[in-house]
Chains A and B, each alone.
Chain A
Amino acid sequence: MQEIQKARLPQLWEYLAKKAPLYLPQQEDGVINFAPWQEGARVKLESLNTVLPPKSIVFPQWETYLHFTQKARELKLTPTKEPEGSYILFGVRPCDVAGITVLDRVFLQDPVDVFYESRRRCTIISLACNEPDISCFCSAFGLEPGFAPAADIMLWDGDKFLLWQSLTEKGETLTHSLTDLLEVPTPAETESVQCLRETAATVQEQKWGLDGVKERAKDMFNAPIWDSLYRRCLGCGICTYLCPTCHCFDIGDFSRGERGERFRCWDSCMYKDFTLMASGENPRPTQKERVRQRFMHKLSYFPAQHGLYGCVGCGRCVRKCPVNIDITQVIKEAGGSISCA
Chain B
Amino acid sequence: MKEIMQKMRAEAARVLSSGEVDLVLGWEKGDLWWQSYPVFIENEKKAELLTWDLFCVPNLAKYLLEEIWHKKRVALFFKGCDALGFNQLMQDKRVDREKAFIFAVPCSGLVDPQKVERAGLHQGLLRVERLGDELTFVYKDREKKTAAPWFYYDKCLTCRYPNPVVFDFMLGEPVPVNPRERFTAVKELEGQNVDARFQYWQRQFSRCIRCFACRNVCPACSCRECIFDLTSPRWLGKATELSENQFYHITRAFHMAGRCVDCGECARVCPVQIPLTSLNRKLIKDIDELYGPYDAGVDPQKVPPLVTFNPGDPAAFLESKGV
In the bound complex, CA of A52 to CA of B203 (Å): 16
Q: Is the CB of B30 within 8 A of A324?
A: yes
A135: which of B32, B39, B273 is its contact (CB, 8 Å)? Answer: B32
> Taking A237-B210, A329-B31 as contacts, is the C-beta distance between A322 and B273 under 8 angstroms?
no
- Interface residue from B31, B63, B273 paired with A231 (Cβ < 8 Å): B63
- Minimum CB–CB distance from B82 to chain A (whole Å) comes to 14
Number of residues in B with C-beta < 8 Å to the partner? 41
Among B32, B36, B268, B272, the residue within 8 A (CB) of A51 is: B272
Q: Does A113 contact B (CB under 8 A)?
A: no
From A62, A228, A235, A323, contact of B239 by CB (8 A): A62
Of listed A238, A324, A329, residue having the most chain B CB within 10 A: A324
In the complex, identify which listed stretch (B101-109, B171-179, B211-219, B298-306) lies at the interface while the others stay far away: B211-219
Please give the number of chain A residues whose Cβ is less than 8 angstroms from any Cβ of chain B in the complex: 44
Nearest A residue to B237, CB-CB: A252
> In the complex, are the beta carbons of B35 and A276 less than 8 A apart?
no
- The A/B interface has a contact count, at CB < 8 Å, of 113
Tell whether, in the assembled complex, residue A52 and residue B240 are in contact, meaning their CB atoms are under 8 Å apart: no
User: CB-CB contacts of B53-82 with A at 8 A, as 1s and 0s?
Assistant: 000001000010010000000000000000
* Cβ-defined contact, B63 with A254, below 8 A: no
Determine the chain B residues whose CB is within 8 A of the CB of A301 once the complex forms.
none
Question: Is B37 engaged at the interface, CB distance under 8 Å to the other chain?
Answer: yes
CB contacts (< 8 Å) of B241 on chain A: these are: 62, 254
B33, B36, B272: residue with the most chain A Cβ atoms closer than 10 Å: B272
Q: Which positions 234-274 of chain A face chain B at CB distance < 8 Å?
A: 234-238, 241-242, 250, 252, 254, 263, 265-268, 271-273
- B6 on interface, CB distance cutoff 8 Å: no
Which residue of A231, A276, A322 contacts B213 across the interface (Cβ within 8 Å)? Answer: A322
Residue of A nearest to B240 (CB): A61
Q: What is the chain B residue whose CB lies nearest that of A239?
A: B211
The listed residue (A61, A242, A273, A324) touching B271 by CB distance below 8 A is A242
Kindly state whether residue A191 has any CB partner on chain B within 8 Å.
no
Q: Is the CB of A232 within 8 A of B37?
A: yes
- The answer to whether A252 touches B123, judged by C-beta atoms less than 8 angstroms apart, is no
Closest 7 A/B residue pairs (Cβ): A236-B213, A62-B239, A324-B37, A237-B211, A322-B269, A324-B35, A232-B38
Chain B contacts to A: CB under 8 angstroms: 30-40, 58, 63, 66, 122-125, 203-204, 207, 209-213, 216-217, 229, 231, 234, 237-241, 268-269, 271-273
